[in-house]
Structure formats: C-alpha cells, structure tokens
C-alpha cells in the first residue's frame, strides 16, 4: 500500500507553479524524508496530501487510494505544521478537549499520560510553554488520534538540538510501536540521516530523487582522483563534480559492477552528501545516462 501517491500532480498560485508534474508513490511502513530548497514545493505537496489545498492538475490519493481530503482519508492522517498551530490563550487541558471534540477518534488517556511523562502542566496556557513543549504538545495531539500516517512539515525548524532529538525520538517510538508511516519535511539533514529510511527530493517543483535510502546510497559513490583526468570519464553518470588544482571528486550513479577508473579511489556516500549533490545540480536526474556537470570548489563533504 502507498500512503501517498500522485500522478501528474500540480498546484499553481496565479501565474506561478508551486508544484508541477509530480508523480511519486511513497510506500507504507517508512519514515520518509521530504527534502529540497526553499520554494521547491514541499509544503504544497504536503498540503495537497492532507486536503488543505486542491490540485490545479493531476491527482493525489492517500492510504491506499483514498482521495486526499476525503473523510476516510482524514480519519487516518494526522498533520503537524511548522508553526505548531495552537491556541495560545487556551490551556493544555482546553487543547485536549478541543482536539477531542473536533475528531472522531482521540485517545484522551494516551495524551494525558504522555504529557505527564513530558512534564507539561495541563493547566498552563499553551502560549506560555517553551518552543519544545509546544512542539511536543502538537505532536501529542496528533499521535492521540492514532493515525496510520503522520505528516510533519518542518517540525524541527524552531527547536534547539535537545528538543529536536526528543521530538524525533517520540516520532520514531510511535512509528515502531503502532506501525505508523511518517512523511517528514525538514532542512535538518543530519537529523534526517539518523531516522529516515525513504527519501523524496524536490527541486523546482518536481521530484528529482525518490526511493529507499539504502538503495539510493548503494547506487551512488564518490570517486576521488587526478583533476586533470576528469574529462576522460565523461561517460560516467556524474551527479556533481568538484575540482581543486590537483584532485577532483565525482559523485556518480553507478551499477554494482561498474569498475573504478585506474588511478581513482571509490568511497561510499552518505545521505547528506547525496542530497547536497542533487541540490547543487538541480538538472541531475536518477535516470541512466551521463549528466553534465560544472567545475566547483570542493565542498566540506567531499574534501
């Protein structure tokens, strides 16, 4: 089953396309990272999936074919937006009551127990909570709905490192205990590398990379060798090239049997390095065949 599936999906605001020709299928049972630069269409895609926006073109379904935004779909999805929407003048208890009354399914006992474990006082107004506590409250309200799919849009953006760690620990525990699927949009690549096992990379409103993290990493590697010899290997499927005076680094798509060029060394690639390479080369695709590259100074990731 696919928790989110799109075909030719597009969203236009006036004359500008925020998302265009988006076709993807995110299988159930994963913590899927949705990454891309600002303006890539990440929030638009998530809003379409949870029914907060309607497509200009194409279709989007969730949870095995349910139309996005339909009652059946909404019952199985919980969404936490970047600004952790809470009523600041309401107490934590009031937020529990409000959320319970607005949803057909809400585990009040779970929510209260979890807030007690976190040390979040029920009588305190949400506007007086710390940023980390607000994020945990919003997450608790979402998890108490016992969703099959949890959608998180930049939940880590305003959190300090400890709050980020605690937030993601809660998400991972819930996913493991309840078999819940997670789609997470974030710029914090180091955190995603620790938790995500599926990757979707958007750039310029289109899907550039999608697949299981282990498969994507196995299909790429970094080649290090003499800068003067780079042009000899133009037939390689280069995603990104960086070249110093003496040495060059090529991040390439590769088959398991592809030989390492003579005089070069091959190294495995990490998730952060892979994402940055595709972001630096927005025209690169995961389809077979060479990709044109440009000379750049080596990044910290490839030095």
**Residues lower than pLDDT 70 in the chain:** 233-235, 255-257, 282-303
Residues 199 and 284 in one domain: no
Residues 231 and 167 in one domain: no
What is the domain count for the chain?
2
Residues 97 and 116 in one domain: yes
CB atoms within 10 A of CB 232: 13
Which of these three, 173, 193, 214, is where a domain ends?
214
- CA 116, chain centre distance (Å): 29
Helix ranges, the chain (H): 42-49, 71-75, 92-102, 108-118, 131-143, 161-178, 189-195, 213-218, 271-280
Kindly tell me the burial class for residue 271, based on how many C-beta atoms sit within 10 Å of its own C-beta (0-12, 13-18, 19 or more). buried
What span, in angstroms and rounded, lies between the C-alpha atoms of 280 and 32?
21
What span, in angstroms and rounded, lies between the C-alpha atoms of 141 and 85?
11
Residues 103 and 61 in one domain: yes
Which of these three, 180, 214, 248, is where a domain ends?
214
Kindly tell me the burial class for residue 159, based on how many C-beta atoms sit within 10 Å of its own C-beta (0-12, 13-18, 19 or more). buried
Dihedral (CA of 43, 49, 50, 51) sign: positive
What pLDDT, on a 0 to 100 scale, did the predictor assign at position 206? 84
Residues 190 and 278 in one domain: no
Residues 239 and 190 in one domain: no
Residues 155 and 302 in one domain: no
What span, in angstroms and rounded, lies between the C-alpha atoms of 33 and 216?
13
Residues 159 and 271 in one domain: no
Residues 34 and 105 in one domain: yes
Residues 165 and 17 in one domain: yes
Residues 96 and 230 in one domain: no
What pLDDT, on a 0 to 100 scale, did the predictor assign at position 235? 67
**CA triple 131-191-275, angle to 5 deg:** 130
Domain extent, residue 293, equals: 219-303
Residues 236 and 194 in one domain: no
10: domain CATH number is 3.40.50.300
Which of these three, 214, 240, 257, is where a domain ends?
214
Rounded to two decimals, what is the model's pTM? 0.85
HSE, CB side, 13 Å, CA atoms: give it for residue 157: 14
């Amino acid at each position: 089953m696919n928790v989110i599936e799109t075909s030719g999906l597009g969203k236009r605001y006036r004359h500008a396309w925020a998302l265009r020709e988006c076709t993807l299928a995110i299988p159930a049972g994963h913590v899927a990272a949705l990454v891309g630069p600002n303006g890539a269409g990440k929030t638009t895609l998530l809003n379409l999936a949870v029914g907060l926006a309607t497509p200009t073109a194409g279709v989007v379904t969730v949870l095995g074919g349910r139309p996005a935004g339909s009652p059946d779909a909404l019952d199985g999805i919980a969404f936490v937006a970047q600004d952790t929407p809470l009523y600041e003048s309401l107490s934590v208890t009031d937020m529990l009551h409000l959320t319970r009354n607005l949803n057909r399914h809400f585990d009040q006992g779970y929510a209260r127990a979890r807030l007690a474990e976190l040390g979040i006082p029920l009588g305190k107004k949400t506007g007086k909570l710390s940023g980390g506590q607000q994020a945990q409250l919003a997450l608790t309200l979402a998890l108490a709905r016992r969703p099959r799919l949890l959608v998180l849009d930049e939940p880590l953006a305003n959190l300090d490192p400890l709050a980020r760690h605690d937030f993601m620990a809660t998400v991972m525990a819930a996913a493991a205990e309840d078999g819940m699927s997670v789609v997470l949009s974030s710029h914090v690549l180091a955190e995603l590398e620790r938790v995500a096992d599926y990757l979707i990379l958007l750039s310029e409103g289109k899907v550039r990379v999608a697949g299981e993290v282990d498969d994507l990493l196995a299909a790429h590697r970094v080649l290090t060798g003499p800068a003067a010899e780079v042009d000899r290997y133009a037939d390689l499927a280069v995603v990104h090239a960086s070249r110093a005076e003496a040495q060059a680094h090529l991040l390439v798509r590769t088959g398991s049997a592809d030989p390492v060029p003579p005089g070069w060394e091959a190294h495995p690639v990490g998730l952060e390095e892979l994402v940055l390479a595709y972001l630096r080369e927005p025209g690169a695709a995961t389809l077979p065949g060479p990709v044109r590259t440009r000379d750049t100074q080596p990044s910290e990731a490839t030095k």
